[in-house]
Amino acid sequence: GDSVTQKEGLVTLTEGLPVMLNCTYQTIYSNAFLFWYVHYLNESPRLLLKSSTDNKRTEHQGFHATLHKSSSSFHLQKSSAQLSDSALYYCALSDPQGGRALIFGTGTTVSVSP
């Protein structure tokens, strides 16, 4: 079945440094969509990025990710982490038609310190 793997459970870094969160996936769909959601405590999980076409970079709020079908990856990156980036980050996968629920990875906690 479909699955999403986030290998880092916790990422700790100092403010100003770059951050990359890994996301790989398995799916039967050649045109699946990949997403990054950010979840702050006591708030709704919020969409951060949605994948575009193969090898095209998508950006939002300083974060960016590129869908690479050849490696089944959709890694999240930011060039300079901020304290406010401390949160839970989830990578998720959807079938092309949106007929099934999102499949989530296990999440990565990002902790940014001064």
Partner 1 sequence: GALVYQYPRRTICKSGTSMRMECQAVGFQATSVAWYRQSPQKTFELIALSTVNSAIKYEQNFTQEKFPISHPNLSFSSMTVLNAYLEDRGLYLCGARGNSQNTLYFGAGTRLSVL
Least CB distance to partner 1 at residue 74 (A) = 14
Residue among 50 and 64 whose Cβ is closer to partner 1? 50
Least CB distance to partner 1 at residue 47 (A) = 6
Element (H, E) at 3: strand 3-5
Residue among 19 and 93 whose Cβ is closer to partner 1? 93
What are the residues facing 14 on neighbouring strands?
Answer: 113
Q: Which residue has the tokens 């401390």?
A: 86
**Which of 90, 114, 91, 87 is closest to 17 using CA atoms?**
114
Between CA 46 and CA 27 the distance in angstroms is 23
Least CB distance to partner 1 at residue 72 (A) = 18
Given the rule CB under 8 A, which residues bind partner 1?
33, 35, 37, 42-47, 50, 88, 90, 92, 94-104, 106-107, 109
Between CA 24 and CA 105 the distance in angstroms is 9
Residue among 99 and 114 whose Cβ is closer to partner 1? 99
Residue among 15 and 45 whose Cβ is closer to partner 1? 45
Least CB distance to partner 1 at residue 13 (A) = 19
Please provide the size of the chain in residues. 114
